[in-house]
Amino acid sequence: MYMIGVLPALVVFWIRRNVPESPLWEESNRRRRAAHDLRQQGRVLKGEDRALVRFTLVDLFAEPAVRMRLLCASVMSLSMTIGYWGVSTFVPSFVGSVATASNLPAERWAALAGLAQNLGALLGFVAFGFLADAFGRKPRQCRFMGCA
């Protein structure tokens, strides 16, 4: 099992060693390294050089509009994670208790409920990709929350 678990890491290692970076990234990395060298020499950085050496997380919170969107997206993501965790924990337990009340093997029915839930989620993830391609990812006219 450990050998199977390490296979994705070995594939990533092979990709990192054998797939070349894009020329755009190479140029950006060269400029970033040059700006870091200038900063280490004690020079005062201005403009683009200053932005290149700044920690990227700071950029996320620099503008109020971006900050608000980031906080809203984080709260939505956290609530979805907690909600999914709650449902995926509750449903098998509930099905197991119903099975026990009906004199059925609780472990088997709880496992089947968890399996059905995960298979349904997997099918939903795959289907959503095809549906998003077919119908588009954004509605033609946005009527949600007054957006233009």
pLDDT, tens only, 77-113: 999 999 988 888 899 999 999 999 999 999 999 999 9
* Amino acid 143: pLDDT: 52
- Per the confidence metrics, is the pTM higher than 0.75? no
Residues 6+ apart with CB under 8 A from 32: 52, 53
Max Cα-Cα span within the chain: 77
User: Which portions of the chain are predicted below pLDDT 50?
Assistant: 148
